[in-house]
Structure 1
């Protein structure tokens, strides 16, 4: 069995990807420093797949520990790199913390992979690199814009570092997956999104409000130039997203990549407004949500949704689960907490 390293593998997207990797027959080892996850997630992964992945509590900012890890695990054939801080607002307040964590840890992992005869690397990137795109839907050829936040900038810098490495080392192959807005939970309700503290994403705030953990949901602005005045995003079910990582990894392992650095958008190809997400939740949960319209938030783009033609045709991957599927799975997961 091919051994795959998943960094940040106990996080929201990481844990769902570990499940899909194990279901596809890969042997998985997880690195996580538990800064935004708990070791209990391992129990959920095991309950779903009947396999407990190997786990090391390790901070990839520690260069020596990272070196030691790779010396010990020389049989790793591919890496899926999720480990990063991801809160936009927090990154604005603490930019150096974000650059140190997101950039240094990436570089230290790549330095070790650069020593190997052949390396296969999947990078967890983001549609934030597009900023407010000039036209919708957004294709991979859309220009990247100056980042709205240090978090977004670390994704742009990360992609540039990886691309430079693929140019200098012909044996290093990488794919950057630019996600739109991952939501939902595994259908088993054994793993899902588990924000530590106040949720910064819309869907966990919705489910926590409905569950009585939050008093009210704030909808930031209803005067945007959109059909209902609220911002539009492309919400993709995390299980669909996780499956794309496995397909991208297999593409590299089977030498099907066209170039040593490829980029794919991952989304549904459809934009949904904040009010449409709320309506979907109310429909599937039979709950009336307590929300109010408040002032716009700085830095929010009006709309962002993906053109997924490249992922559909080149990767042979397509999002299959609907917004209602995602909202129902998120609500079922919330009720287990």
Structure 2
């Protein structure tokens, strides 16, 4: 049975990927500093899978800890989620993001090579494209990220590509994904960030619970059917399966690949609100406010390469995304969280 190290494995996407890995027969070791996640997630993973992954609390920049993990466990591959991800914060605190996301990834990669681990799946982002001049993003488009967060993701992609060329045994998959939403169907794990949410669905979920008062919808005059921005929202379970399939692909194929993960079908902010209201029975009050700088009217994935190369395709639509989000938040509310 192969053992996978998942950095940031207690976080939103990481925890769902840990479940998918364990369901797929992998052993999992998690490394997470809990800066934007909670230890209770491990109990939820245990309830879902009937087994708990090995957990280390710590940072990817801690060489001593990384060396200990690779010495203690026969790691065959790494899935790397551990990164700071708030776009606004990245603009105001760029050095924090370059240190954690770029320098941290270099430290991790150095220790991986030292331990002779040959498989690396990187959690990248559609933000690396910037404003490509087209609504549908393809992997061969020029990259020109417009914020620090996106630049850190692109830098790590380039570092991994150069490292794969210099180390022929290293196999790398960079997964560029769009807007993860939803939760596990059990309602036991989902997106529950520390502090005020930066993303749409956890913000809506907290409004539904009465924790937050109203939603600000940034921009209502875009050239879209209802004036609000169109985004490619992808169910987190679909995303998790994409990471497992990337691991499977790298077991059979050398070199480096870069792949989009998205549904290819964008939904507007108002569509997401209306669907959430429908499945939850909760009213979500909102205010239409001015656009945010850097936001695009519309973008979505061309995921043809993921289907052709990984055999991956998103399965869940907007109603399932909202139903699972509400199930998770209604259980949080019942627990008083």
User: TM-score range with shorter-chain normalisation?
Assistant: over 0.9
1:7 correspondence with 2:2: no
Which residue does the alignment assign to 1:326?
Answer: 321
TM-score in terms of structure 1 length = 0.96
User: Contact conserved, 2:27 with 2:53, CA < 8 A, in 1?
Assistant: yes
Partner of 2:33: 33
Q: Deviation digits for residues 17-67 of structure 1, max 9, x if unmatched?
A: 000000000000000011111110000100000011000111112233323
Report the Cα distance in structure 2 between the residues aligned to 1:306 and 1:279, rounded to whole angstroms.
23
- 1:142-221 equivalences under 5 Å are 142-145=141-144, 147-221=145-219
Q: How does 1:283-302 map to 2 (within 5 A)?
A: 283-302=278-297
Shift of 1:95: 0.7
Task: Sort the Cα spacing of 1:118 and 1:287 in 2 relative to 1 into closer, same or farther, 3 A.
Answer: closer
Partner Cα distance (1:122, 1:154) in 2: 16
The alignment partner of 2:331 has SS state of coil
Contact 2:232/2:263, CA 8 A, preserved across alignment: yes
Deviation string, structure 1 residues 143-202 (Cα, Å, up to 9, x no partner): 111x22211111000100000000100000000000100000000001000111111001
**CA–CA separation in structure 2 for the residues paired with 1:170 and 1:220:** 46
- Deviations along 1:92-145, one digit per CA (max 9) or x if unpaired, are 111111111111211111101223445100000000001122223211111111
When normalised by structure 2's length, the TM-score is 0.96
Distance 2:36 2:224 in 1: 34
C-alpha displacement of 1:68: 3.2
Structure 2 residue corresponding to 1:262, chosen from 251, 257, 263 = 257
In structure 1, the residue matched to 2:298 is 303
> Aligned with 1:336: secondary structure?
helix
**Rounded Cα–Cα distance in structure 2 between residues aligned with 1:336 and 1:144:** 40
Q: Partners of 2:165 and 2:309 in 1: how far apart? A: 22
Aligned partners of 2:61 and 2:108 also within 8 Å: no
2:22 is the alignment partner of 1:22: yes
Q: Alignment RMSD, CA only?
A: 1.1
Determine which of 243, 246, 249 is the counterpart of 1:248.
246
Q: Which structure 2 residue ranges, 5 or more long, are not aligned?
A: 333-337
- Post-superposition offset of 1:71: 2.8
State the partner residue of 2:231: 233
Q: Is the 8 A contact 1:132 1:303 kept in 2?
A: no
**1:111 counterpart residue number:** 110
User: Where do 5+ consecutive residues of structure 1 fail to align?
Assistant: none
Contact 1:133–1:304, Cα closer than 8 Å, also in 2: no
**Runs in 1 of length 4+ with deviation above 4 angstroms?**
none
Q: Distance in 1 between matches of 2:212 and 2:22?
A: 35
Q: Which piece of structure 1 moves more, 219-228 or 1-10? A: 219-228
In 1, the alpha carbon distance for the partners of 2:125 and 2:314 equals 17
Q: C-alpha displacement at 1:303, in angstroms?
A: 1.4
* Secondary structure, counterpart of 1:303 in structure 2: coil
Given that 1:210 and 1:290 are in contact with CA atoms closer than 8 Å, whether structure 2 keeps it comes out as: no
CA distance in 2, matches of 1:149, 1:143: 15
Q: C-alpha separation between the residues in 2 aligned to 1:264 and 1:167?
A: 18
How many pairs are equivalent? 332
